[in-house]
Homo-oligomer: A and B are copies of this chain.
Amino acid sequence: MSPDQIAAARGAALPTPALTPSGPAEAPAAPPAGPAITEAKLANGLDIVVIPDRRAPVVTHMVWYRNGSADDPLGKSGIAHFLEHLMFKGTKNHKQGEFSELVADSGGQENAFTSNDYTAYFQRVATGELAVCMEYEADRMKNLVLSDEIVAPEREVVMEERRMRTDSDPSDQLNEAVQAALFTQHPYGKPIIGWGHEIEGLDREDALRYYNRFYTPENAILVVAGDVEPAEVIALAEKIYGPIPAHGEAPKRNRPREPEPRAHRRVTLTDEKVEQPSYQAVYLAPSYRTAAPGVGEALEVLGHLLGGGNTSLLFKQLVMEQKIAVAAGAHYQGTAVDDTRFYVFGLPAPGVSLERLETAIDAVIAEVAAHGVDEADFHRAKTRLVADAVYAQDSQAALARWYGASLATGLSIADVAAWPARIEAVTLDDVKKAAHWLDKKRSVAGFLLPANDEGAAETAAA
């Protein structure tokens, strides 16, 4: 329901469906059990991960910075995403567009994305182009030009992006309000793109200070996947990224912890542009990084059982049996540095109120919390999740992205490799217990309603 990152497409197509901006389908993306990963760390602090994939003479080159929108300084929301834009504007050595042209001319693809917890840049090119990609990427890690002439017009581009994306879309506005209500003090409550009135105030000084603070080798992870020799990749990285001076130490994330939620919240948005009403519930839940061992995996299985596709409990009960919804689902957004979100949603059938839908969804959850799930469904869900992990290895970019996102959110290579076994280890009782995280008072409900008349909000809530 709520995008957890902004992927900015800049003339280059996204390489695989798994790399589209994440939604319910993306969150439980699957980690591989297979490849032999090589890790290294340069003297300047740069982490390196090499993932062999020899099926084609293609390489994916990514640099992940361990800073996302949740690290935006107070009153400067949107600056992580703004920097992602500015990273394409040229350096002391290369003018704007050179790097992108190089990638495009060789038939490659490139992109960048900003999430709550990280900002990442990638190119997918012929193996022979790896060194030149590294050179361009290393160059913009230290030589970015941030003049007023560059910063001011790009801020307008971002403002326009916000106007297009959010200010004209009631559903996105509701999502912003729901996240802000869920995270009362943790910065996950701020939109990745930033609040409009704060984006307007971002200037060259802000960009420069941010760039100097976060765009450092200690704060970055280089991920290379493809038809490469790990030792050669590391030697190449040493030569190209190695000369970038260390800044001292990696910047610290300053993330206040959420107080324990005690009251259920409901956020309602009515707008003339809404044609299909919708209901969502977002629960504050532990992430893979913050959860006790096994709890993240149990929430993943629960998300799949409750709402992963047309065989899920919510779909079967609300859409097929009760026929009160035209769609329903759930998913767990487990990859996060801090406590995260478990999403449940439904689109009501014509004439069904959101309150009725909410009550029906709550009953499905309560049933799971009280009596657990069907054993055959349970085994099918686990098998499917593990299979997804295997299939994910088919996509080189998805594989690189899975490792990058995991490492950038505080997990280790070992955590990623152990994931399928940990999913296998989830028990029926674990799933039942995990459903207790879906406690009303841990959640925010989002009601999206058409504004048929002035009294719509009241009528709908009565």
Cα of A2 to Cα of B258 in the assembled complex, Å: 21
A273 within 8 A of B: no
How many A residues touch B, CB cutoff 8 Å?
45
Cα of A254 to Cα of B184 in the assembled complex, Å: 18
**Which residue of B266, B358, B359, B440 contacts A265 across the interface (Cβ within 8 Å)?**
B266
Cα of A267 to Cα of B261 in the assembled complex, Å: 11
Are B462's CB and A355's CB within 8 A?
Answer: yes
A197 within 8 A of B: yes
Are A176's CB and B262's CB within 8 A?
Answer: yes
Cα of A266 to Cα of B461 in the assembled complex, Å: 10
A414 within 8 A of B: no
Cα of A195 to Cα of B261 in the assembled complex, Å: 11
Given A181-B265, A185-B180: A355 touches B259 (CB 8 Å cut-off): no
Chain B residue at smallest Cβ distance from A363: B458
- Against B, the Cβ 8 Å flags (1 = close, 0 = not) of A165-201 are 0000000011011101100110001100001111000
A362 within 8 A of B: yes
Cα of A190 to Cα of B261 in the assembled complex, Å: 13
Chain B residue at smallest Cβ distance from A265: B267
Given A190-B185, A268-B266: A259 touches B196 (CB 8 Å cut-off): yes
A257 within 8 A of B: yes
Are A263's CB and B196's CB within 8 A?
Answer: no
A441 within 8 A of B: yes
Are A441's CB and B269's CB within 8 A?
Answer: yes
Residues of A344-364 at the interface with B, using a CB-CB cut-off of 8 Å, are 355-356, 358-359, 362
Cα of A190 to Cα of B180 in the assembled complex, Å: 14
Are A254's CB and B185's CB within 8 A?
Answer: no
Are A267's CB and B263's CB within 8 A?
Answer: yes
**Which residue of B180, B257, B261, B441 contacts A184 across the interface (Cβ within 8 Å)?**
B180
Cα of A396 to Cα of B209 in the assembled complex, Å: 50
A202 within 8 A of B: no
A264 within 8 A of B: yes
Are B196's CB and A359's CB within 8 A?
Answer: no
Are B254's CB and A177's CB within 8 A?
Answer: no
- Against B, the Cβ 8 Å flags (1 = close, 0 = not) of A255-289 are 11101111111111100000000000000000000
A56 within 8 A of B: no
For A259, the chain B residues whose CB sits under 8 A away are 176, 180, 195-197
Chain B residue at smallest Cβ distance from A177: B263
- Against B, the Cβ 8 Å flags (1 = close, 0 = not) of A225-269 are 000000000000000000000000000001111011111111111
Chain B residue at smallest Cβ distance from A184: B180
Cα of A256 to Cα of B440 in the assembled complex, Å: 30
A57 within 8 A of B: no
Q: How far is the CB of A128 from chain B (nearest CB, A)?
A: 47
Are A263's CB and B173's CB within 8 A?
Answer: yes
Cα of A254 to Cα of B462 in the assembled complex, Å: 40
A36 within 8 A of B: no
Are B257's CB and A268's CB within 8 A?
Answer: no
**Which residue of B74, B257, B457 contacts A440 across the interface (Cβ within 8 Å)?**
B457
A sample of 22 cross-chain residue pairs with beta-carbon separation below 8 angstroms, ordered by A number, consists of: A74-B254, A74-B256, A176-B262, A177-B263, A178-B263, A180-B184, A180-B185, A180-B259, A181-B184, A184-B189, A185-B190, A263-B268, A263-B446, A264-B267, A264-B269, A264-B461, A265-B265, A265-B267, A265-B268, A268-B440, A358-B461, A441-B457
Q: Which 7 A-B residue pairs are closest in the complex by CB-CB distance?
A: A180-B184, A177-B263, A266-B266, A263-B269, A75-B256, A195-B259, A264-B268
Query: A residues engaging B (CB < 8 A)?
Result: 74-75, 77, 173-174, 176-178, 180-181, 184-185, 189-190, 195-198, 254-257, 259-269, 355-356, 358-359, 362, 440-441, 446, 457-458, 461-462
Interface contacts beyond A264-B457, A266-B268, A440-B458: sample of 6 additional A-B pairs, CB < 8 Å, sorted by A: A74-B74, A75-B255, A77-B256, A177-B265, A264-B269, A359-B458
